[in-house]
Structure 1
Amino acid sequence: MGGHGFYVWSAVIVTLIVIIGLIVRPLLQHRVVLNQIAQELAREKLRKKTTGEGN
């Protein structure tokens, strides 16, 4: 690579890390949002059950 191997491979590694991060982060955030929605639905169901509105 004409003496530029370190630069080229470090650029490739940094690029791969960024691309992987751009793929993984939204997936993890999606999971967190789904868990938050499930918790809120469970709280709402419990609230309706305890106040008698669910009948």
Structure 2
Amino acid sequence: MSWESWSAFWDMGGAAFYVWGSYGLALVLVALELMLVLQRRKDTTRRLLRWRRALGKDAGRQNGGEPEPATESER
């Protein structure tokens, strides 16, 4: 496809509302999904750390060594 000018490109032959609206909606939904996934990860990490503390300090020890880190960020 070739357009005579930038305005013709943005107009998309009269289908600009559908084309750019579809791109916009997809971008909003991807951003929302990313936010929800990060929030769920944060909540799950917090819940696991609370559970680990409830079990006691020695519950995470293996072979008498140091406690096993609960998350990757603690390693």
Unaligned runs of 5+ in 1: 1-7
Matched with 1:48 is: 52
Aligned to 2:25: 21
What is the Cα deviation at residue 12 of structure 1? 1.4
Q: How many Å separate the matches in 1 of 2:53 and 2:22?
A: 47
Identical columns (%): 17
- Higher Rg of the two aligned structures: 2
Deviations 1:23-43 (A, max 9, x none): 111111000000000000000
TM-score (norm 2): 0.55
Please list every run of 5 or more consecutive structure 2 residues that lacks an aligned counterpart in the other structure: 1-13, 61-66, 68-75
User: 4+ residue runs of structure 1 moved beyond 3 angstroms?
Assistant: none
TM-score, structure 1 normalization? 0.72
